[in-house]
Amino acid sequence: MDSKKIFEKINTICKNKKITIKELEKNLKIANGTIGKWGKGKTTPKTNTLNKIADYLNVTLDYLITEKIDEKETEIIAFYRKADERGKDRIYRTAKDEADQAEQLLHQKENITEFSKEIKPFA
C-alpha cells in the first residue's frame, strides 16, 4: 500500500477516535508533520513508526498497510488489548475453540470429498 493510503487510513482512525494527527505525533514522539508528509507522498513511513501507531490506535500493522479492512478483527484486537489477564485468557480460549472447530469441519469436508471420489457411480 502506498504512503498516501496509509495516511488516509490513519487519518480516518484518528477522526473516529477524536484525536488529531498532530496529537498522535506528539503522543508518540514522532516529528511534527511526518505523518502529513506521507499523505502528500513526500516520504514513506518506517515499519517501527507504523508499529507504534498501530499499537497506539489499537489496530494491527496489517490493518494499516493492507487494502483489506476487517472491522471485526480490529474490534476483537481492541477488546483483547483492553482486557485484564483473565479476560485475555477467555478471549484466547474462545478464539482457539472456534479455530479448532473450523479445522475439524475442514478435515471432515476433505474426508467426505475423498470418500465421494472413491464411490463409483452406478451404471
Residues 52-110 pLDDT 10s: 999 999 888 888 888 776 778 778 888 888 899 999 999 999 999 999 999 998 888 88
In the chain, % of residues over pLDDT 70: 93
CA–CA distance, 118 with 114 (Å, rounded to integer): 7
Could you count the other beta carbons within 10 Å of the beta carbon of residue 55?
Answer: 13
Output the pTM of the full model.
0.59
Provide the 8-state DSSP code for 40.
T
**What confidence tier does 1 reach under pLDDT thresholds 50, 70, 90?**
low
CA–CA distance, 65 with 111 (Å, rounded to integer): 37
b/e 91-101 (16+ beta carbons within 10 angstroms → b): eeeeeeeeeee
The pLDDT of residue 74 is 75
- For residues 92 and 83, the answer to whether their CB atoms sit within 8 Å is no
* 13: phi then psi, degrees, rounded to nearest 5: -60, -45
